[in-house]
């Protein structure tokens, strides 16, 4: 396996069964938007609370209404996120809207302690204003953790899988073996190239195919065609015996 890139939103986690799962870590941008949505929701909550207290006060008296207001304020301020994170979706409404959820670092659900710690420490993450501390911490940790996440050992991940894009039809491609044996990483790069190809413009496909000139001895469309044949061959074979000469076609590793 190659050394993992420094910034990779895919985090490998090894479960007790020895199997590796991949968590897709959410970055500060998505989390900020989720936070803004939550802010808007809280704002609506405060407004509704104010109205509710005004009505309630005429029922149960002014003092009791004010008391109710303080109690609700306390719970909303400190436990809004905790309540949602411990729910079945493990996400505040804002996070849910953006398809995020909070998880323990192993991908498991957050425990009540973890959730309380990470949300109480928002006070510090918010300093000096607008979650600047949290943002700084996010940018300097591998898993985009703010300070509260670091202490509670939690991460914010994307819930669910990426929507699969259009699939490339390879029915009419005649399979052809690559001229040199490809290593596992090279095979993976080639397969992923064609899995992702439908998302790119034609120019981009040709540009990337041309980088592989040392392997295909062709440029542009001809190179792409050759690569498609190798891809079809790999798919048809469905086996990836380790290559004997890993140094061959080293340029192939430069693919996406």
The footprint of another protein (CB under 8 A) covers: 15, 17-23, 61-64, 66-71, 73-74, 77-78, 88, 90, 103, 107-109, 111-113, 116-117, 120-124, 147, 150-153, 160-162, 164, 184, 187-188, 191-192, 195, 234-240
> Cβ of residue 230: shortest distance to another protein, in angstroms?
13
Helix (H) or strand (E) holding 148: helix 147-152
> Cβ of residue 153: shortest distance to another protein, in angstroms?
5
> Cβ of residue 219: shortest distance to another protein, in angstroms?
27
Instruction: State which residue, 163 or 172, has the beta carbon closest to another protein.
Output: 163
Instruction: State which residue, 217 or 256, has the beta carbon closest to another protein.
Output: 256
Residues 149, 38 contacting (CB under 8 angstroms): no
Distance (Å, rounded) from C-alpha 79 to C-alpha 69? 15
The beta strands (E) that lie in 175-252 are given as none
- 109 CA to centre of own chain: 16
Distance (Å, rounded) from C-alpha 63 to C-alpha 98? 40
Instruction: State which residue, 31 or 122, has the beta carbon closest to another protein.
Output: 122
> Cβ of residue 246: shortest distance to another protein, in angstroms?
15
Residues 251, 188 contacting (CB under 8 angstroms): no
Residues 57-81 as b or e (16 or more Cβ within 10 Å = b): beeeeeeebeebbeebeeeeeeebb
CA-atom Rg of the chain in angstroms: 26
Instruction: State which residue, 35 or 69, has the beta carbon closest to another protein.
Output: 69
Instruction: List C-alpha distances in Å: 159 to 99, 164, 174, 252.
Output: 6, 15, 38, 33
> Cβ of residue 105: shortest distance to another protein, in angstroms?
9
> Cβ of residue 26: shortest distance to another protein, in angstroms?
14
DSSP 8-state secondary structure symbol assigned to residue 246: T
> Cβ of residue 40: shortest distance to another protein, in angstroms?
23
Report the chain's terminal Cα–Cα distance, integer Å.
16
Instruction: State which residue, 54 or 62, has the beta carbon closest to another protein.
Output: 62
Instruction: State which residue, 146 or 229, has the beta carbon closest to another protein.
Output: 146
Instruction: State which residue, 4 or 74, has the beta carbon closest to another protein.
Output: 74
Q: Which residue has the tokens 């979650």?
A: 131
β-strand partners of 101:
157
């Amino acid at each position: 396996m190659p050394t993992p890139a420094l910034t990779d939103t895919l985090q490998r986690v090894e479960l007790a069964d020895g199997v590796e799962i991949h968590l897709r870590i959410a970055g500060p941008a998505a989390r900020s938007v989720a936070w803004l949505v939550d802010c808007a929701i809280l704002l609506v909550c405060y407004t509704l609370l104010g109205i509710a207290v005004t009505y309630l006060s005429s029922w149960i008296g002014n003092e009791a209404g004010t008391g109710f207001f303080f109690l609700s304020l306390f719970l909303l301020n400190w436990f809004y996120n905790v309540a949602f994170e411990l729910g079945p979706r493990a996400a505040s409404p804002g996070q849910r809207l953006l398809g995020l959820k909070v998880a323990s670092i192993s991908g498991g659900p957050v425990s009540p302690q973890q959730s309380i710690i990470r949300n109480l420490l928002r006070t510090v993450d918010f300093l000096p204003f607008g979650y600047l501390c949290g943002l700084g911490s996010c940018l300097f940790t591998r898993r985009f953790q703010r300070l509260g996440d670091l202490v509670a050992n939690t991460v914010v991940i994307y819930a669910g899988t990426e929507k699969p894009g259009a699939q490339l039809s390879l029915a009419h491609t005649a399979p052809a073996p690559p001229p040199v044996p490809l290593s596992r990483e090279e095979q993976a790069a080639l397969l992923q190239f064609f899995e992702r190809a439908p998302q790119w413009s034609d120019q981009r496909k040709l540009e990337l195919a041309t980088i592989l000139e040392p392997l295909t001895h062709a440029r542009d469309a001809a190179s792409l065609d050759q690569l498609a044949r190798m891809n079809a061959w790999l798919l048809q074979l469905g086996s990836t015996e380790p290559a004997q000469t890993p140094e061959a076609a080293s340029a192939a590793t430069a693919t996406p």
